[in-house]
Protein backbone atom coordinates (compact mmCIF):
# COMPACT_ATOMS: atom_id res chain seq x y z
CA UNK A 1 0.00 0.00 0.00
CA UNK A 2 1.07 3.60 -0.57
CA UNK A 3 0.02 6.08 2.09
CA UNK A 4 0.33 9.83 1.61
CA UNK A 5 -0.91 12.11 4.35
CA UNK A 6 -2.93 9.27 5.83
CA UNK A 7 -4.62 8.20 2.56
CA UNK A 8 -4.05 4.78 1.05
CA UNK A 9 -3.49 4.89 -2.70
CA UNK A 10 -2.26 1.41 -3.59
CA UNK A 11 -5.39 -0.42 -2.44
CA UNK A 12 -7.39 0.80 -5.43
CA UNK A 13 -4.84 -0.25 -8.02
CA UNK A 14 -5.42 -3.42 -9.94
CA UNK A 15 -3.29 -5.26 -12.45
CA UNK A 16 -3.49 -5.32 -16.19
CA UNK A 17 -5.44 -3.52 -18.87
CA UNK A 18 -9.10 -3.79 -19.69
CA UNK A 19 -10.29 -2.80 -16.23
CA UNK A 20 -9.10 0.78 -15.92
CA UNK A 21 -12.47 2.37 -16.43
CA UNK A 22 -11.35 5.64 -17.98
CA UNK A 23 -13.78 6.71 -20.66
CA UNK A 24 -12.80 5.12 -23.96
CA UNK A 25 -12.15 7.38 -26.92
CA UNK A 26 -12.03 6.18 -30.51
CA UNK A 27 -10.51 8.19 -33.33
CA UNK A 28 -12.21 9.68 -36.32
CA UNK A 29 -11.42 8.63 -39.84
CA UNK A 30 -9.15 10.83 -41.93
CA UNK A 31 -6.89 11.05 -44.94
CA UNK A 32 -3.25 12.05 -45.13
CA UNK A 33 -2.57 13.97 -48.33
CA UNK A 34 -4.17 11.32 -50.52
CA UNK A 35 -2.98 8.38 -48.43
CA UNK A 36 -5.65 6.61 -46.38
CA UNK A 37 -4.84 6.89 -42.68
CA UNK A 38 -4.63 3.54 -40.84
CA UNK A 39 -7.26 4.49 -38.27
CA UNK A 40 -10.97 5.10 -38.21
CA UNK A 41 -14.00 5.27 -36.04
CA UNK A 42 -15.89 7.95 -34.22
CA UNK A 43 -15.59 9.63 -30.86
CA UNK A 44 -18.73 9.93 -28.82
CA UNK A 45 -21.08 11.66 -31.24
CA UNK A 46 -19.05 14.87 -31.50
CA UNK A 47 -17.34 14.00 -34.78
CA UNK A 48 -19.08 16.74 -36.74
CA UNK A 49 -17.80 19.60 -34.56
CA UNK A 50 -15.20 21.94 -36.09
CA UNK A 51 -12.83 21.30 -33.17
CA UNK A 52 -12.84 17.55 -33.72
CA UNK A 53 -12.35 17.95 -37.45
CA UNK A 54 -9.39 20.24 -36.76
CA UNK A 55 -7.82 17.73 -34.34
CA UNK A 56 -8.36 14.87 -36.80
CA UNK A 57 -6.54 17.00 -39.36
CA UNK A 58 -3.66 17.61 -36.94
CA UNK A 59 -3.39 13.89 -36.39
CA UNK A 60 -3.33 13.25 -40.15
CA UNK A 61 -0.48 15.75 -40.64
CA UNK A 62 1.53 14.12 -37.85
CA UNK A 63 0.94 10.66 -39.31
CA UNK A 64 2.23 11.80 -42.69
CA UNK A 65 5.41 13.13 -41.05
CA UNK A 66 5.95 10.08 -38.85
CA UNK A 67 5.23 7.49 -41.55
CA UNK A 68 8.32 8.59 -43.48
CA UNK A 69 10.62 7.38 -40.67
CA UNK A 70 9.43 5.32 -37.72
CA UNK A 71 11.25 5.66 -34.37
CA UNK A 72 14.01 3.10 -33.90
CA UNK A 73 12.61 -0.27 -32.83
CA UNK A 74 8.97 0.82 -33.20
CA UNK A 75 6.97 -1.14 -35.76
CA UNK A 76 4.41 0.38 -38.09
CA UNK A 77 1.73 -1.67 -36.31
CA UNK A 78 2.64 -0.02 -32.99
CA UNK A 79 2.48 3.43 -34.57
CA UNK A 80 -0.87 2.70 -36.22
CA UNK A 81 -2.29 1.47 -32.91
CA UNK A 82 -1.14 4.67 -31.20
CA UNK A 83 -2.75 6.91 -33.82
CA UNK A 84 -5.96 4.86 -33.77
CA UNK A 85 -6.37 4.61 -30.00
CA UNK A 86 -5.29 7.93 -28.52
CA UNK A 87 -8.08 10.43 -27.70
CA UNK A 88 -8.41 13.33 -30.10
CA UNK A 89 -7.41 15.90 -27.47
CA UNK A 90 -3.93 14.35 -27.43
CA UNK A 91 -3.21 15.71 -30.92
CA UNK A 92 -3.80 19.27 -29.72
CA UNK A 93 -0.74 19.16 -27.45
CA UNK A 94 1.97 17.24 -29.36
CA UNK A 95 4.35 17.62 -32.27
CA UNK A 96 6.24 15.01 -34.29
CA UNK A 97 9.21 14.92 -31.90
CA UNK A 98 6.96 14.31 -28.90
CA UNK A 99 4.94 11.61 -30.67
CA UNK A 100 8.16 9.79 -31.57
CA UNK A 101 9.23 9.96 -27.93
CA UNK A 102 5.88 8.70 -26.66
CA UNK A 103 5.99 5.78 -29.10
CA UNK A 104 9.46 4.85 -27.86
CA UNK A 105 8.26 4.93 -24.23
CA UNK A 106 5.27 2.71 -25.03
CA UNK A 107 7.53 0.34 -26.98
CA UNK A 108 9.68 -0.04 -23.85
CA UNK A 109 6.58 -0.75 -21.80
CA UNK A 110 5.47 -3.56 -24.11
CA UNK A 111 9.02 -4.94 -24.22
CA UNK A 112 8.88 -5.09 -20.43
CA UNK A 113 5.61 -7.01 -20.60
CA UNK A 114 7.08 -9.54 -23.02
CA UNK A 115 10.11 -10.16 -20.79
CA UNK A 116 10.31 -12.93 -18.23
CA UNK A 117 9.81 -10.50 -15.36
CA UNK A 118 6.94 -8.58 -16.97
CA UNK A 119 3.93 -8.59 -14.67
CA UNK A 120 1.83 -5.90 -16.35
CA UNK A 121 1.87 -3.65 -13.29
CA UNK A 122 5.18 -1.76 -13.22
CA UNK A 123 5.28 1.50 -15.18
CA UNK A 124 7.91 2.73 -17.60
CA UNK A 125 9.13 6.22 -16.73
CA UNK A 126 11.32 8.28 -19.05
CA UNK A 127 12.43 11.90 -18.97
CA UNK A 128 14.13 14.53 -21.10
CA UNK A 129 15.79 17.80 -20.20
CA UNK A 130 13.58 20.48 -21.70
CA UNK A 131 15.53 23.68 -21.25
CA UNK A 132 18.37 25.25 -19.32
CA UNK A 133 16.19 26.05 -16.29
CA UNK A 134 16.32 22.46 -15.02
CA UNK A 135 12.85 21.75 -16.38
CA UNK A 136 12.31 18.12 -17.34
CA UNK A 137 9.53 16.54 -19.35
CA UNK A 138 8.52 13.18 -17.84
CA UNK A 139 6.44 10.45 -19.52
CA UNK A 140 4.84 7.67 -17.49
CA UNK A 141 3.34 4.67 -19.30
CA UNK A 142 1.34 1.94 -17.55
CA UNK A 143 -1.89 0.02 -17.77
CA UNK A 144 -4.72 2.25 -16.67
CA UNK A 145 -6.06 1.56 -13.18
CA UNK A 146 -7.96 3.32 -10.44
CA UNK A 147 -5.71 5.77 -8.63
CA UNK A 148 -2.85 5.70 -11.15
CA UNK A 149 -2.75 9.47 -11.72
CA UNK A 150 -2.97 10.13 -7.97
CA UNK A 151 -0.15 7.65 -7.35
CA UNK A 152 2.12 9.32 -9.93
CA UNK A 153 1.48 12.84 -8.66
CA UNK A 154 1.86 11.62 -5.06
CA UNK A 155 5.24 10.02 -5.82
CA UNK A 156 6.39 13.29 -7.39
CA UNK A 157 5.28 15.26 -4.34
CA UNK A 158 7.07 12.79 -2.05
CA UNK A 159 10.42 13.62 -3.68
CA UNK A 160 9.62 17.35 -3.81
CA UNK A 161 9.22 17.77 -7.55
CA UNK A 162 7.19 20.74 -8.75
CA UNK A 163 4.69 19.90 -11.48
CA UNK A 164 4.60 22.82 -13.92
CA UNK A 165 2.36 21.04 -16.44
CA UNK A 166 0.46 17.76 -16.48
CA UNK A 167 -1.24 16.01 -19.41
CA UNK A 168 -3.33 12.88 -18.79
CA UNK A 169 -4.29 10.50 -21.60
CA UNK A 170 -5.72 6.99 -21.90
CA UNK A 171 -5.81 4.98 -25.10
CA UNK A 172 -8.89 2.95 -25.97
CA UNK A 173 -6.93 -0.23 -25.13
CA UNK A 174 -6.46 0.96 -21.50
CA UNK A 175 -2.85 2.05 -21.94
CA UNK A 176 -2.25 5.22 -19.93
CA UNK A 177 0.26 7.88 -20.92
CA UNK A 178 0.70 10.73 -18.45
CA UNK A 179 3.17 13.49 -19.34
CA UNK A 180 4.54 16.06 -16.88
CA UNK A 181 6.86 19.05 -16.97
CA UNK A 182 8.67 19.18 -13.62
CA UNK A 183 11.46 20.97 -11.79
CA UNK A 184 12.83 20.96 -8.27
CA UNK A 185 10.99 22.91 -5.59
CA UNK A 186 12.87 25.92 -4.22
CA UNK A 187 13.30 24.37 -0.78
CA UNK A 188 14.37 20.96 -2.10
CA UNK A 189 18.03 19.98 -2.16
CA UNK A 190 19.69 18.10 -4.98
CA UNK A 191 19.28 17.75 -8.73
CA UNK A 192 16.16 16.76 -10.63
CA UNK A 193 17.37 13.47 -12.13
CA UNK A 194 18.16 11.72 -8.81
CA UNK A 195 14.69 12.77 -7.61
CA UNK A 196 13.14 11.32 -10.78
CA UNK A 197 14.97 8.02 -10.24
CA UNK A 198 13.69 7.87 -6.67
CA UNK A 199 10.17 8.77 -7.82
CA UNK A 200 10.32 5.91 -10.33
CA UNK A 201 11.45 3.47 -7.64
CA UNK A 202 8.70 4.53 -5.22
CA UNK A 203 5.99 4.45 -7.89
CA UNK A 204 7.04 1.04 -9.21
CA UNK A 205 7.12 -0.51 -5.75
CA UNK A 206 3.82 1.15 -4.79
CA UNK A 207 2.02 -0.13 -7.88
CA UNK A 208 3.27 -3.60 -7.03
CA UNK A 209 2.07 -3.30 -3.40
CA UNK A 210 5.60 -3.29 -1.98
CA UNK A 211 6.00 0.28 -0.80
CA UNK A 212 4.43 2.59 1.75
CA UNK A 213 5.63 6.16 1.76
CA UNK A 214 4.39 9.50 2.99
CA UNK A 215 5.17 13.16 2.51
CA UNK A 216 3.25 14.06 5.63
CA UNK A 217 6.52 15.35 7.09
CA UNK A 218 6.33 18.15 4.51
CA UNK A 219 3.23 19.62 6.20
CA UNK A 220 3.73 23.19 7.28
CA UNK A 221 6.73 23.59 4.92
CA UNK A 222 4.72 23.84 1.73
CA UNK A 223 4.53 27.11 -0.16
CA UNK A 224 1.20 28.53 0.86
CA UNK A 225 0.66 26.04 3.73
CA UNK A 226 -2.02 27.26 6.13
CA UNK A 227 -2.60 26.90 9.81
CA UNK A 228 -5.64 24.85 10.91
CA UNK A 229 -8.81 26.86 10.38
CA UNK A 230 -7.15 29.40 8.11
CA UNK A 231 -9.18 30.16 5.00
CA UNK A 232 -8.13 29.50 1.46
CA UNK A 233 -7.63 32.79 -0.47
CA UNK A 234 -10.76 34.10 -2.15
CA UNK A 235 -9.13 33.76 -5.58
CA UNK A 236 -9.46 29.98 -5.24
CA UNK A 237 -11.92 28.64 -7.84
CA UNK A 238 -13.32 25.14 -8.26
CA UNK A 239 -16.41 24.25 -10.27
CA UNK A 240 -17.97 21.39 -12.20
CA UNK A 241 -18.88 21.82 -15.85
CA UNK A 242 -21.51 19.24 -16.80
CA UNK A 243 -22.60 20.88 -20.07
CA UNK A 244 -19.63 20.86 -22.45
CA UNK A 245 -19.16 17.09 -22.69
CA UNK A 246 -21.79 14.45 -23.32
CA UNK A 247 -19.60 11.74 -21.79
CA UNK A 248 -17.47 13.35 -19.05
CA UNK A 249 -17.83 15.58 -16.01
CA UNK A 250 -15.23 18.36 -16.09
CA UNK A 251 -13.67 19.71 -12.89
CA UNK A 252 -12.14 23.18 -13.28
CA UNK A 253 -9.57 24.23 -10.68
CA UNK A 254 -7.64 27.45 -10.16
CA UNK A 255 -5.80 28.02 -6.91
CA UNK A 256 -2.54 29.49 -5.56
CA UNK A 257 0.16 26.87 -6.07
CA UNK A 258 1.36 24.64 -3.24
CA UNK A 259 3.45 21.49 -2.99
CA UNK A 260 1.46 18.32 -3.63
CA UNK A 261 -1.64 20.14 -4.87
CA UNK A 262 -2.03 17.97 -7.97
CA UNK A 263 -1.97 14.86 -5.80
CA UNK A 264 -4.70 16.21 -3.52
CA UNK A 265 -6.99 16.99 -6.46
CA UNK A 266 -6.40 13.61 -8.15
CA UNK A 267 -6.71 11.63 -4.94
CA UNK A 268 -9.98 13.28 -3.89
CA UNK A 269 -11.49 12.41 -7.26
CA UNK A 270 -10.23 8.81 -6.99
CA UNK A 271 -11.49 8.47 -3.42
CA UNK A 272 -14.93 9.55 -4.63
CA UNK A 273 -15.03 6.58 -7.02
CA UNK A 274 -14.33 8.48 -10.23
CA UNK A 275 -11.79 7.77 -12.97
CA UNK A 276 -9.63 10.36 -14.70
CA UNK A 277 -10.14 10.28 -18.48
CA UNK A 278 -8.00 13.20 -19.60
CA UNK A 279 -6.63 16.28 -17.96
CA UNK A 280 -4.48 19.34 -18.41
CA UNK A 281 -2.92 21.43 -15.63
CA UNK A 282 -0.43 24.28 -15.66
CA UNK A 283 1.34 26.36 -13.03
CA UNK A 284 1.75 29.99 -14.10
CA UNK A 285 3.01 32.88 -11.96
CA UNK A 286 2.36 31.02 -8.73
CA UNK A 287 -1.11 29.81 -9.68
CA UNK A 288 -2.15 26.23 -10.37
CA UNK A 289 -5.01 25.74 -12.79
CA UNK A 290 -6.58 23.38 -15.26
CA UNK A 291 -9.24 20.72 -15.62
CA UNK A 292 -9.88 17.01 -15.19
CA UNK A 293 -12.35 15.06 -17.30
CA UNK A 294 -13.78 12.24 -15.19
CA UNK A 295 -16.38 9.47 -15.30
CA UNK A 296 -17.70 6.81 -12.98
CA UNK A 297 -15.65 3.61 -12.85
CA UNK A 298 -18.20 2.12 -15.24
CA UNK A 299 -17.28 4.77 -17.81
CA UNK A 300 -20.58 6.65 -17.53
CA UNK A 301 -21.05 10.33 -16.83
CA UNK A 302 -22.20 11.33 -13.33
CA UNK A 303 -25.71 12.78 -13.47
CA UNK A 304 -26.10 13.49 -9.74
CA UNK A 305 -25.11 17.14 -9.28
CA UNK A 306 -25.41 16.92 -5.48
CA UNK A 307 -22.83 14.11 -5.49
CA UNK A 308 -20.44 16.26 -7.52
CA UNK A 309 -21.00 19.23 -5.24
CA UNK A 310 -20.07 17.04 -2.29
CA UNK A 311 -16.75 16.22 -3.96
CA UNK A 312 -16.09 19.91 -4.59
CA UNK A 313 -16.79 20.84 -0.97
CA UNK A 314 -14.58 18.03 0.37
CA UNK A 315 -11.75 19.18 -1.87
CA UNK A 316 -12.14 22.74 -0.63
CA UNK A 317 -12.02 21.47 2.94
CA UNK A 318 -8.98 19.31 2.22
CA UNK A 319 -7.10 22.31 0.86
CA UNK A 320 -7.80 24.35 3.95
CA UNK A 321 -11.00 26.21 3.14
CA UNK A 322 -13.57 26.29 5.96
CA UNK A 323 -16.38 28.23 4.36
CA UNK A 324 -18.28 27.58 1.14
CA UNK A 325 -18.58 30.18 -1.54
Treating both helix axes as pointing N-terminal to C-terminal, what angle do 261-271 and 305-318 enclose, rounded to 10 degrees?
A: 140
Give the separation between CA 220 and CA 280, rounded to whole angstroms.
Answer: 27
Tell me the torsion sign for CA atoms 12, 211, 163, 54: negative
Structural domain spans, the chain: 3-25+86-318, 26-85
Beta-carbon contacts of 182 under 8 Å, excluding residues fewer than 6 positions away, are 135, 136, 138, 156, 161, 162, 163, 164, 192, 196
pTM above 0.75, yes or no: yes
CB 107 within 8 A of CB 139: no
Per-residue pLDDT of the chain (325 residues; tens, 9 = 90+): 333 333 334 433 433 344 444 333 322 233 333 344 555 543 433 334 778 889 999 999 999 999 888 888 999 999 999 999 999 999 999 999 999 999 999 999 999 887 655 554 689 999 998 765 668 999 999 999 888 998 899 899 889 898 999 999 999 999 999 999 998 866 666 788 999 999 999 898 878 776 654 544 333 334 344 444 445 455 788 999 999 999 999 999 998 887 788 888 998 999 999 999 899 999 888 888 999 999 999 999 999 999 999 999 999 888 764 223 3
Helices (H), 272-304: none
Which residues make beta-bridge pairs with 290? Answer: 253, 281
Give the separation between CA 178 and CA 103, rounded to whole angstroms.
Answer: 13
Give the separation between CA 71 and CA 75, rounded to whole angstroms.
Answer: 8
Amino acid sequence: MMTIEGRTVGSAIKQGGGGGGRKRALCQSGRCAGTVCPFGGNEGGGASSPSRRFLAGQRAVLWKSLARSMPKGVSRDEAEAHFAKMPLDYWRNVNTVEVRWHLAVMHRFFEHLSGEAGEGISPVVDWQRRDERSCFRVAVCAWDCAGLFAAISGAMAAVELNVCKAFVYTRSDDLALDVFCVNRSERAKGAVEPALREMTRLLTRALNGKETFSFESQKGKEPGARAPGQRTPKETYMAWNNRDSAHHNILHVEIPDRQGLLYHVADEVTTAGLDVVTGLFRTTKGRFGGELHVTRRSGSKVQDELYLEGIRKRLFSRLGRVTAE
